[in-house]
Chain A
Amino acid sequence: MQEEMLIEEMECVYKKPHTLTDEYMHYCPGCGHAVAHKILMEVVDEMGIQEDIIGVAPVGCSVFAYNYMNIDMQEAAHGRASAVATGIKRVRPDKYVFSYQGDGDLAAIGTAETIHTINRGENILIVFINNGIYGMTGGQMAPTSLFGQKTSTSPYGRDVAHNGYPLKMTDLIAHLPGAYYVTRQAVHTPNTVRKFKKALKNAFEYQKLNKGTCFIEVVSNCPSGWKMTPKETLTYIEEKMLPEYPLGDIKVPTQNKN
């Protein structure tokens, strides 16, 4: 009896965002997608925009995002998320629109759509999960794979003479005048998670201003594709990924005043 009393009196200090469904996630243990989904939905909750937001999730591990995000969503063909998001935003300009894309999707097959969507300054948010590998298809080399990185299609390591260089999409698109806010974040430590959350909030606030595209890269992991334990991937992010993809804002609005 006394024990029950104690439980009842405990203060709830943290709970799952209610915009995240109770669906069992298909992501592998330790995958950054789960954290990124949760934080994204937490921001949607906190801003109270659950009923005014439409998301787009294209082919890749996150194609099932609509199972976990309790908002209106569209699945998109591989690489076409930003074109789909453009279509939605153009006919529903009063709604918040975002796409959630992986590196194969955004930086390989969807490069043209990504560049042109941002160059038009579409008032959407693009969340770009960069884990340097194709997760869903089983760990093939991505445009963002690191020098020497071993994948199922670069079994001897990525050779730049043969495969070219890791593509730094975020640095590239920051040069486009249509890009309003461009930042590179991560979700592998409590501190990076906090910063990612702040970036998401900024991006949705900026979307109200109709000033252009907001772009958040998230340097993430892929325990299964990288053939590492989740814990090992955290070290790999710190030691290998971040030197190539340093965290921080790349383009911030110079003036938010009218």
Chain B
Amino acid sequence: METNKSEIRLMKGNEALAEAAIRAGLDAYFGYPITPQSEVLEYLTLEIPKRRGIVLQAESEVASINMIYGAAGAGARVMTSSSSPGMSLMQEGISYIAAAELPCLLVNVVRGGPGLGTIQPSQGDYFQATKGGGHGDYRLIVLAPSSVQEMCDFVFEGFKLAEKYRNPTLILSDGALGQMMEKVEFPEDGSLPHQIPTWATTGKKGRERNFITSLHMEPEKMEEINLHLQKKYKEIEENEVRYETFETDDAEVVLVAFGLPARICQKTVELARAKGIKAGLVRPITLFPFPKKIISDLSKKIDHFLVVELNAGQMVEDVMLAANGNCPVHFKGRMGGMLVQPEEVLEEIEKIVEESLTLNAGQE
């Protein structure tokens, strides 16, 4: 099969992500099987020996994230992927990686929790992904794809951002996106060049020694490290916010949803518009940095936000912070692996509109 040219294929989200990683110049992948993301490891163990790179099935997620730490520290372009319970196991390692400022790409194909939960899609790991997840003050750059095409595109984007900021980037996907098949167009193989960074531990030939650490015993030094990290996160917030809007220009009710529910909500907007309700949609693409400004701007001119998530209400807190009391923020969520339907979101919109009409009528 010709693999170095751009081409269009019909693929599962997990496989598209894995193929994209090879084309993006992945040096090494370390991972552990877990449903619903095992296709990533399966695809890479099949393809990498025929093409380029290293793929290794680790004994646990704890081991795989630490292999990522070692290989990223040695200057390789590396990726791991897992699903919710496995990501929980990786959190200590991710904190070390963020503290040591090692670029790498992490992928969470989220399943319903808490606990062992279910293997169906969920967005219950939003807090874990965007607020740190492990110990200490750190952030991941978080990208939320909503199509199989973006499962591919965000691999390239994820490596670019990780290497630009020396920061781990996380693709926050879900069980449905990982499993469903769609048309996907791949960029050319080798279109994302990579050089071994000067700080990497590759043997100190011709230079002073390098070391990778997150340990600083003096509190003054540790505060300095923290301030440096915070400065970097601020810079990321200023430069890397990504989102999409749909029908927001004249909207009175604006839906906010990320990932797959954003596509479901787009249908809801169409259904609402057909009924004469001026609905719109904001879809955050970067969950960190969160698109605060568009939410804040809209909050001053619309009547309602309705946040739709596959969880008990997590991103809704960030929307409320950005809206800062300018307009009511409502929430509709499904949990445990259930998807929302366009019609049930529409019902929620109708309820909100009706309630506010009654309220206004009562006031007049």
Contact = CB atoms under 8 A, between A and B. Distances in A.
Interface in A182-241: none
Contacts of B59: 112-113, 115-116
A113 B73 contact: no
B63 A113 contact: yes
Given A66-B213, A70-B209, A116-B63, A88 B203 contact: no
A41 interface: no
Contacts of A37: none
Interface string A159-182: 000000000000000000000000
B205 A87 contact: no
Contact of B67 (A63, A73, A83): A83
Interface residues of B, number: 40
Given A51-B205, A74-B201, A85-B70, A112 B212 contact: no
Interface in A91-122: 91-92, 95, 112-113, 115-116
B211 A74 contact: yes
B248 interface: no
Nearest to A80: B66
Contact of B201 (A64, A73, A77, A80): A73
B229 to A, nearest CB: 17
B63 A80 contact: yes
B214 interface: yes
Interface residues of A, number: 32
Contacts of A51: 203-206
Interface of A: 50-54, 56, 63-64, 66, 70-77, 80, 83-88, 90-92, 95, 112-113, 115-116
Going nearest first, the 7 A-B pairs with the smallest beta carbon separation are A87-B70, A84-B70, A87-B71, A87-B67, A83-B66, A72-B201, A80-B66
20 contacts: A54-B201, A54-B203, A63-B215, A72-B201, A73-B209, A74-B73, A74-B201, A74-B213, A76-B69, A77-B93, A83-B62, A83-B63, A83-B70, A87-B72, A87-B74, A88-B201, A90-B67, A91-B54, A113-B62, A113-B63
